[in-house]
Structure 1
Amino acid sequence: MKYFQVCLLSIFLIIGVSGCRGKINIEDVTLSMILGIDVNDENKVEVFMASPVFSGETQAKTEHFNVQTLSIKESRNYFDTRASGVTGGGKIQAILIGSRVLEHKNWFSIMDMFFRDPKFRLNADLIFVDGPLADVFDLKPKDKPELPIYIPQLIQTADFRNVAFRTTIRQFHRMYFEKGITPFAPELAIQGEHLVVNGTTLLTNNNLYNRTLSMNETQLLKILKDHLEGQLVIALNLKKFKKDVDDVFTDEETSFYIKDVKRKIDKKYSNGHYSFNVNLTLPIMFTESPIGLTNSSEAILKKAIEKKLQKELNNLIQSFQKDKVDPVGFGILAHSFQYADWKKNENHWLDTYQKSNIKVKVKIIVIDKGITM
Structure 2
Amino acid sequence: MSKQMSLLILFSFVVVIVSGCYDRVDLEENISSFLVGIDLDRENNLIIYTSNPVFSSHVEKKSQEIEQKAGTLRQSRGMLEARTLGFLSFRKVQIILIGKRILEQEDWYRQLDIIMRDAKNPLTQRFVAFNGPLSDIVNLNPKEQPMLPILLLGMVDTKSSRSETVKTTFQELDRLFYEKGVTPYMSQVVLDKKKELVMNGTTLLDKKGKYAATLKLPETILLHILQKNVRRPVSFTIHIPGKSKSGPFDTDRISFNAESIKTKISTSYLEERFIFGIKIEMPISLTEQLFPFDVKKRGGQLESLIAEQVQDQFESLIRTIQTHKIDPIGLGLYARAYENKRYKEVQDNWGEALAKADIQVSVKVTITSRGPVK
TM-score in terms of structure 2 length: 0.89
DSSP-derived class of the 1:154 partner: helix
Secondary structure of the equivalent of 2:321?
A: helix
- Check if 1:285 corresponds to 2:285: yes
Q: Which residues in structure 2 correspond to 1:100-119 (within 5 Å)? A: 100-119=101-120
Instruction: Specify the code of the residue in structure 2 equivalent to 1:113.
Output: I
Which residue of 1 is the match for residue 7 of structure 2?
none
**Residue 324 of structure 1 pairs with residue 325 of structure 2:** yes
Q: Given the superposition, is the C-alpha separation of residues 372 and 82 from structure 1 closer, same or farther in structure 2, using an over 3 Å criterion?
A: same
Equivalent residue number for residue 310 of structure 2: 309
- Distance change in 2, residues 1:88/1:293 (3 Å): farther
Q: Closer, same or farther in 2 for the Cα pair 1:102/1:20, shift >3 Å?
A: closer
Structure 2 distance, partners of 1:100, 1:87, is: 26
Query: Following superposition of structure 1 onto structure 2, how do residues 157-306 of structure 1 map, counting pairs within 5 Å?
Result: 157-191=158-192, 192-240=194-242, 242-244=243-245, 247-289=247-289, 290-306=291-307
Matches within 5 A, 1:356-371: 356-371=357-372
Q: Tell me, which stretches of 5 or more residues in structure 1 are unaligned?
A: 1-14
Q: Is the 8 A contact 1:257 1:286 kept in 2?
A: yes
2:152 corresponds to 1:130: no
Deviates more, 1:93-102 or 1:210-219: 210-219
Aligned to 1:12: none
Q: What is the rounded CA distance, in whole Å, between the counterparts of 2:201 and 2:23 in structure 1? A: 45
Partner of 2:6: none
What amino acid maps onto 1:195 in structure 2? L
C-alpha displacement at 1:35, in angstroms?
A: 0.3
Q: 1:316 to 1:51 in 2, by over 3 A?
A: same
Matched, 1:146 2:147: yes
TM superposition shift of 1:106? 2.7
Per-residue Cα deviation, 1:197-238 (whole angstroms, up to 9, x for no partner): 122111223321112112222122122212224441110010
Change (3 A) 1:58 1:250: closer
- Residue 80 (1) aligns with residue 81 (2): yes
Give identity over the alignment, percent.
29
Once the two structures are superposed, what CA deviation does each residue of 1:134-184 show, in whole Å capped at 9, x if it has no partner?
111101112211112111011112212322111111111111112211211
Counterparts of 1:104 and 1:331, CA distance in 2: 24
Q: Do the aligned residues in 2 keep the contact of 1:185 with 1:200 (CA within 8 Å)?
A: yes
The structure-2 alpha-carbon separation of the partners of 1:22 and 1:274, relative to structure 1 and needing over 3 Å to count, comes to closer
Residues 116 and 149 of structure 1, relative CA distance in 2, 3 Å threshold: same
Contact 1:70 1:110 (C-alpha < 8 Å) held by counterparts: no
Does the Cα contact within 8 Å between 2:238 and 2:253 map onto a contact in 1?
Answer: yes
Greater shift, 141-150 or 24-33, is seen at 24-33
The alignment partner of 1:101 has SS state of helix
- The Cα of 1:293 is off from its aligned counterpart by 4.6
| 1:265 counterpart SS class | strand
Q: 1:318 to 1:193 in 2, by over 3 A?
A: closer
Question: What is the TM-score with the length of structure 1 in the denominator?
Answer: 0.89
Aligned length: 355
Structure 2: distance between partners of 1:123 and 1:41 = 31
- Cα distance, 1:345 vs structure 2: 1.5
Distance 2:22 2:103 in 1: 45
The separation in 1 between residues aligned to 2:117 and 2:26, in whole angstroms, is 27
Residue by residue over 1:30-86, the C-alpha shift from the partner in whole angstroms, topping out at 9 and shown as x without a partner, is 111000000012210011100111122222100111211232222221122111122
C-alpha distance in 1, partners of 2:134/2:61? 20
Residue equivalent to 1:29: 30
| Cα deviations by residue, 1:87-107 (Å, 9 ceiling, x for unpaired) | 121111010010001222131
On the 8 A contact 1:89/1:119 being kept in 2, the answer is: no
Q: Distance in 2 between matches of 1:362 and 1:318?
A: 17
Distance 2:59 2:96 in 1: 26
- On the 8 A contact 1:223/1:261 being kept in 2, the answer is yes
Structure 1 letter corresponding to 2:263: R
Distance 2:233 2:51 in 1: 31
Aligned partner letter, 2:247: D
Q: Distance in 2 between matches of 1:188 and 1:45?
A: 21
Label 1:226 to 1:54 Cα distance change in 2 as closer, same or farther (>3 A).
same
Structure 1 contact 94–125 (Cα < 8 Å) conserved: yes
The 3-state SS of whatever aligns with 1:239 is coil
